[in-house]
Amino acid sequence: MGYAHAFVATLSLAVATSGWSEELQLEQDELRFGFIKLTDMAPLAVAYELGYFEDEGLFVTLEPQANWKVLLDRVITGELDGAHMLAGQPLGATIGFGTDAHIVTSFSMDLNGNGITVSNEVWRAMKPHVPMGADGKPLHPIKADALKPVVESYRAAGKPFNMGMVFPVSTHNYELRYWLAAGGIHPGYYSSADVNGQSGADVLLSVTPPPQMPATLEAGTIYGYSVGEPWNQQAVIKGIGVPVITDYEIWRNNPEKVFGVTEGWAKANPNTHVAVVKALIRAAMWLDANANANRSAAVEILARSEYVGADAAVIANSMTGTFEYERGDKRSVPDFNVFFRYYATYPYYSDAIWYLTQMRRWGQIGEQKTDEWYAATAKSVYRPEVYLKAARLLVEEGLANEQDFPWTTDGYRAPQSEFIDGVVYDGRLPNAYLESLAIGLKGTDTPASRELVSAE
């Protein structure tokens, strides 16, 4: 109840100064946003529950969606004004992979927050190949090298090795593929003839909605999966699987969900868009404030049935800076969920370009594109102008600190090297980056030409 009082206090302050609606003439104040039941929807729930939306004069309804496809379709048809989206969704839709619609984003919702879980059976087979520390516990990060012999034994026995991910353009798909490929396991190519992305694959990946992952794993349809929280912690707590690695260890501080709207909506509602981003920035700040001091309050909000709805203990496991691998092997991962630190909410072009390189790497983009194409596509989807305008207003209103925002960035993070395989990523040189990855399409490859090569 603490934040209810805090909220009333904020509101009366806002009423006293009444500075919320003068600067921004809202085009629309009744909005409907969609989300998927994952802990990284937290900025939306917090902005609603703490009254940040109302402070901006916005009356927002939050609505859980059945799966990522339904969510995207409903944003496109206008049933939803905006939504919690996979970073790949606005990009994929804009370049016409899967769905064709121009979606834009001005707000990154978080960094990290995903994990890869395997079934108990696979874990038992994997464990002998995992390096152990002096304390007898597995040394992290666990590389896919340990999984490779298991996959080979399944394949030798004629059993396809199936794994689940949440959507073809999801972060989880690319992270799982990155991890597998870094361990020498081929996750398969997409092509116009193979929309499931299984050509030449050692491991067959397929789509399962996040909340169904544990049940699908338990049913034996898949042997492992890559998904956001709380569905990895759910598996270990219910004793049906073992999380082996977090995405923080695959690529430290990788960009995750974004808040997406259609280009048409953004054009028609420029001020409303800024107001929404203002509320979301405040929510993100609250989530990371005072070294995650508010996280247990956030867990209480997320555990309500209208938001994530899983048991509070399961959500708390990852939201409060820890992560449980094997049952009882709970380790400290303070940056498992990052909502605001490290400029997490700024929509960097280089983040967009990394996703585009992965679409190219796995054949979702069938032919070579120039570096300029990558930059131009990123610019047409990621809209930092709106973000900076919102941030400026917050600083002027005294609600945020000047130094918390990257005012002068050109939209490219410095080259990043904190990947599990140590390959360096520079968003300015996407083609060179593709060349540096061992498995995957590069240069003038097409999915068909690579298949021929691997068949030989």
Question: Got the DSSP string for 84-130?
Answer: EE-THHHHHHHHTSSS---EEEEEE--EE-EEEEEEHHHHHHHGGGS
9 interacts with other proteins by CB under 8 A: no
Q: Which is nearer to other proteins, 74 or 137 (CB)?
A: 74
Helices 270-292, 295-302: axis angle to 10 degrees equals: 120
The mark string for 52-91 relative to other proteins (x by CB under 8 A, - otherwise) is: --x----xxxxxxxx---x---x--x-x------------
Q: How far is the CB of 67 from other proteins (least distance, A)?
A: 10
- Calpha distance 87→70 (Å, rounded): 16
Q: Which is nearer to other proteins, 239 or 334 (CB)?
A: 239
Element (H, E) at 270: helix 270-292
Other beta carbons less than 10 A from residue 252's beta carbon: 16
The mark string for 174-213 relative to other proteins (x by CB under 8 A, - otherwise) is: -----------------------------------x-xx-
Q: How far is the CB of 197 from other proteins (least distance, A)?
A: 23
Q: Which is nearer to other proteins, 59 or 407 (CB)?
A: 59
The mark string for 16-45 relative to other proteins (x by CB under 8 A, - otherwise) is: --x--x-------xx------x--------
DSSP helix/strand/coil, 332: strand
**Dihedral-angle region of residue 251 (phi above 0 means left; psi in -120 to 50 means alpha; beta otherwise):** beta
Q: Which is nearer to other proteins, 130 or 240 (CB)?
A: 240
320 interacts with other proteins by CB under 8 A: no
What phi and psi, each to the nearest 5 degrees, are found at residue 389?
-65, -45
277 interacts with other proteins by CB under 8 A: no
How far the first Cα of the chain sits from its last, in Å, is 65
Q: Which is nearer to other proteins, 183 or 214 (CB)?
A: 214
- Calpha distance 229→44 (Å, rounded): 16
310 interacts with other proteins by CB under 8 A: yes
Residue numbers of the site for other proteins (CB under 8 A)?
A: 11, 15, 18, 21, 29-30, 37, 48, 54, 59-66, 70, 74, 77, 79, 209, 211-212, 214-215, 218, 234, 238-240, 303, 305-306, 308-311, 314
